[in-house]
Amino acid sequence: MSKSNQTAGMQIMTKCPLCDYKYEKKDIKVMNSKEGVVTLYLNCKNCQGSIMMLIMTGAFGITSISMTSDIMEDDFKSIEEHSCVEYDDVLEMHKFLKNK
């Protein structure tokens, strides 16, 4: 990574980690923004590789996590439409698996 993209140990993802293709602004989409956490979806137009990135703000500053994924943009929309897993759901699944 060039010095212009690296400051005090912080790297900015400007290129696809799979093929080194430079991202354009239109390749980066904000999928969610809640309570100090922003979820970004980056799609490489060259290799079709997808990156999911979480950027979090907290008491100790800004943290980011990114990972390659096979998730597609439409998958994010589908996930948003479903509710979260509740404690009762976990207990019900545990009972179900225990009885098998």
pLDDT digits (tens, 9 = 90+) for 4-39: 444 444 556 788 989 999 998 888 888 888 888 998
User: 35: helix, coil or strand?
Assistant: coil
Of the pLDDT bands very low, low, confident and very high (cuts 50, 70, 90), residue 97 is very high
Q: Is there a contact between 51 and 20 (Cβ–Cβ < 8 Å)?
A: no
Going by C-alpha positions, the residue among 2, 68, 62, 71 that lies closest to residue 38 is 62
- Amino acid identity of 23? Y
Which pLDDT does position 94 carry in this prediction? 92
Q: What is the pLDDT of residue 71?
A: 80
pLDDT of residue 2: 47
What pLDDT shows up at residue 60?
84
